[in-house]
Amino acid sequence: MAQLPPRERLKRDCARAALERIRPALDRQTTVGVGTGSTANHFIDALAEVKSSFGATVASSEDTAARLRGHGIRVLDLGDAERVAVYVDGADEVAPDRSLIKGGGGALTREKIVAAKAERFLCIVDDSKMVARLGAFPLPVEVVPMASRLVAERLAGLGGTPRRREGFVTDNGNPILDIHDLVIDDAAGLEATINDIPGVVTNGIFAIRRPEAVIVASPNGIEIVA
Ligand code: 5RP
């Protein structure tokens, strides 16, 4: 098999470490929430190797659902899942307090919904995602189409520079504004403030419901931030 590039290897390593961490608690009743993106894809591939040891999954995007089904893994609608024991997903930025920016892949709304339902949230990243303060990665904001201009004006009022993500709509049929130049000192406060703007579906700050643990892979090994 072809060797993975170093960054992909780290993504695979944190994904495998997450599986090892949750595996003892898996049984045929367990539903696992699965994130979206290249790191989450490694988790899906690892999960496929133990697919007889859990019951089902819920997916945070159509892409993730397709990859899970491709491995023969059962995917439930979230509304049909009584419990989601754990949610595993990547991130675009991780601050030392485990607040995140997510949504680089555009799946932020469904990711936030599955994270809210899950009893535990594990974030998996390679060390390039660790930052001292959130905000260098442009903050994704999913908006109802007719509100795009209003939301962009309000976000500019918060000091950001909104840019529409060209040629992209989410699985929910909405556009995304990527907000550059935001200063994020109070991540939970800004998450709530932006979500209060009429027409915002959600924004990519995950601070109010942040992961209980972040599994970070670096060339030196695995570190758990909890
Ligand atoms: C998708 C996400 C992803 O978790 C985030 O973009 C990280 O992706 P990757 O693992 O490919 O770097 O939030 O909406």
Give the model confidence (pLDDT) of 42-91 as tens digits: 999 999 999 999 999 999 999 999 999 999 999 999 999 999 999 999 99
Please calculate the CA angle 179-112-191 and round it to the nearest 5 degrees: 45
pLDDT bin (cut points 50, 70, 90) of residue 141 is: very high
- Cβ-based burial of 77 (10 A; exposed 0-12, middle 13-18, buried ≥19): exposed
Tell me what pLDDT residue 8 has.
98
Nearest ligand 1 atom to alpha carbon 129? 12
In one-letter notation, the amino acid at residue 115 is A
Determine the residue of 9, 10, 92 to mutate for testing ligand 1's pocket, defined as the one with the most ligand atoms within 8 A of the Cβ atom. 92
Is residue 105 scored above 90 in pLDDT? yes
Residue 102 DSSP symbol: -
Q: How far is the CA of 120 from the centre of ligand 1 (A)?
A: 18
Task: Decide if 127 contacts 117 (C-beta within 8 A).
Answer: no
Question: Please, which residues bridge with residue 206 across strands?
Answer: 100
CB of 106 within 6 A of ligand 1: the answer is yes
Q: How far is the CA of 101 from the centre of ligand 1 (A)?
A: 9
Q: Closest Cα partner for 60 from 4, 109, 117? A: 109
pLDDT bin (cut points 50, 70, 90) of residue 2 is: confident
pLDDT bin (cut points 50, 70, 90) of residue 1 is: low
Q: How far is the CA of 152 from the centre of ligand 1 (A)?
A: 23
How much is the mean pLDDT over the chain?
Answer: 97
CB of 37 within 6 A of ligand 1: the answer is yes
CB of 109 within 6 A of ligand 1: the answer is no
CA distance 210 to 98: 6
pLDDT bin (cut points 50, 70, 90) of residue 156 is: very high
CA distances from 23 to 65, 136, 151, 166 (A): 21, 34, 42, 40
Q: How many CB atoms lie within 10 A of CB 145?
A: 10
CA distance 150 to 157: 11
The two structure tokens encoding residue 27: 């049984």
Give residues with Cβ within 8 angstroms of 71, minimum separation 6. 44, 45, 47, 48, 51
- Cβ-based burial of 136 (10 A; exposed 0-12, middle 13-18, buried ≥19): middle
Residues annotated as catalytic (active site), given as ranges? 111
Q: How far is the CA of 220 from the centre of ligand 1 (A)?
A: 22
Nearest ligand 1 atom to alpha carbon 204? 13
